[in-house]
Amino acid sequence: MTDLKPDIAFKKEIEAISGASLSTCMQCGTCSVVCNVSPEDQPFPRKEMVYAGWGMRDRLIGNPDVWLCHQCGDCSSHCPRGVNPADVLAATRLQTYKRYATPRFMGRLLSNPKLLPLAILLPVLIIAGIIYLAGTLSIPAGPVNYSNFFPHAWLNSSFFLITVASYGIAAVGISRFWKDLHRFEFNNTVKRGFFASFWKVKNDILAHSRFSKCEKNRGRKVAHFLVFYGFALLLLVTLYAIYAAVTDLYPLALTNPFKILGNIASLMLFSGLGIMIWNRLAKMEGSERSSYADWLFLTAILLLTASGVVIEAARFLNWSAAYYLYFFHLVCVWFVIIYLPYTKFGHVIYRTVAMTYAMSADRK
């Protein structure tokens, strides 16, 4: 006999985020039947809908199947009661960021729209403080050279240290998530270690192959592919820019291969984000719901990309407002990178970890 301890507050949170009326789910199982990525053994999301309806937080948070779902919407489009299981699982993933956020206040900071001004203020104060300590808190005279405003030695070292510290602390929460995944044993035993399992699942992640199985929103694969690899290319270009700054190769000419690669990455991001934003705007009156976390993620990446293009033009055209724009761009960069484990962007980490565990448990 199982002793159920419903968490009604958790149920109401899921309903508020997803817009779903969990009590109307009649457990017909249609959602699991139409899902092409759900395993045959203990398929999702039917059982997750039971857990959500009963407010069983511990059966949802730390559940790998919640992350194996790629929210294609096939289940929601076929739900006879309009409960929208895809949105319920998406709401559960948002609760996961808050549950495993380390320190805890970071989860609240990035999930509450009322706290957004504070979330923005933190990188503003940090960046301004570093520039002040570097002794360059003024607008330099002469041609635009961003290193005169924020010396690259200070920029690179401070950003590296803060990023390492942020991710190091966040890793504590990720490790708790990995530990909790082991509560869900699908084949009685875990057969492989983390790295061996990751190596076997990496191709699925890199190729976004699960998206190909979705029927309702096939275009999501293209959008996610463009954003994923566009962002990865920008990271590569950023690393080269750091190298260029250290070796006095900065600033880069427009014809520099890495500069060209960075512009291509920006085009990829604009295209992918454009598709995502269009899809969400088109569905605002439809069956799928967009949350604050969705728009925060899309807006932050869009502002990061757009401001990067603008400051590139500002440097080559020698705009008088270049340094103000550069400061804004730095805030966008730090907001996205430092807060990554605590926002929806964190699904890059959580889904990878969950898919790795599923592979280790032979969850096919």
The amino acid at residue 59 is R
Provide the pLDDT for residue 121: 97
Based on the fold, state whether residues 142 and 228 are members of the same structural domain: yes
Based on the fold, state whether residues 49 and 143 are members of the same structural domain: no
C-alpha to C-alpha distances, 360 to 189, 213, 258, 353, 357, nearest whole angstrom? 9, 22, 38, 11, 5
* Whether the Cβ atoms of residue 308 and residue 252 lie closer than 8 Å to each other: no
In a domain, 1, yes or no: no
* Spatial distance between the Cα atoms of 90 and 79, rounded to a whole number of angstroms: 16
Provide the pLDDT for residue 254: 84
What are 221-271's pLDDT values in tens digits? 899 999 999 999 999 998 888 888 777 777 788 888 999 999 999 999 999
In a domain, 132, yes or no: yes
The amino acid at residue 345 is F
Q: How many CB atoms lie within 10 A of CB 133?
A: 11
Q: Which domain holds residue 93?
A: 8-100
Based on the fold, state whether residues 256 and 119 are members of the same structural domain: yes
Based on the fold, state whether residues 39 and 175 are members of the same structural domain: no
User: Alpha helices, DSSP H only, in 187-256?
Assistant: 194-207, 219-246
* Whether the Cβ atoms of residue 132 and residue 225 lie closer than 8 Å to each other: no
SS3 43: coil
Chain-centre distance for alpha carbon 4: 33
Based on the fold, state whether residues 126 and 143 are members of the same structural domain: yes
Residue 311's φ and ψ, nearest 5 degrees, are -70, -25
Residue 292's φ and ψ, nearest 5 degrees, are -55, -40
* Spatial distance between the Cα atoms of 239 and 276, rounded to a whole number of angstroms: 27
In this structure, what is the dihedral angle of CA atoms 353, 68, 339, 265, given to the nearest 10 degrees? Answer: 100
Based on the fold, state whether residues 201 and 339 are members of the same structural domain: yes
What pTM was computed for the model? 0.91
In this structure, what is the dihedral angle of CA atoms 233, 166, 150, 327, given to the nearest 10 degrees? Answer: 80
Q: In which residue are the tokens 């010396």 written?
A: 151
* Whether the Cβ atoms of residue 267 and residue 222 lie closer than 8 Å to each other: no
* Whether the Cβ atoms of residue 7 and residue 81 lie closer than 8 Å to each other: no
Based on the fold, state whether residues 73 and 110 are members of the same structural domain: no
When divided into structural domains, the chain yields a total of 2
Q: In which residue are the tokens 């006999």 written?
A: 1
* Whether the Cβ atoms of residue 1 and residue 78 lie closer than 8 Å to each other: no
- CA-wise closest residue to 162 among 290, 350, 340: 340
Among the candidates 82, 100, 118, a domain finishes at 100
What are 85-116's pLDDT values in tens digits? 999 999 999 999 999 999 999 999 999 999 99
* Spatial distance between the Cα atoms of 7 and 21, rounded to a whole number of angstroms: 16
* Spatial distance between the Cα atoms of 312 and 328, rounded to a whole number of angstroms: 13
Within 13 Å of residue 71, how many CA atoms lie on the same side as its CB? 22
Provide the pLDDT for residue 285: 44
pLDDT, mean of each 10-residue run, the chain (364 residues): 76 92 93 91 93 93 94 89 93 94 93 96 95 90 90 88 92 95 76 86 90 78 94 92 79 87 96 92 64 94 96 93 96 94 93 93 82
**Residues in CB range of 57: below 8 A, 6 or more apart:** 7, 10
* Spatial distance between the Cα atoms of 115 and 132, rounded to a whole number of angstroms: 26
Based on the fold, state whether residues 130 and 267 are members of the same structural domain: yes
Based on the fold, state whether residues 328 and 194 are members of the same structural domain: yes
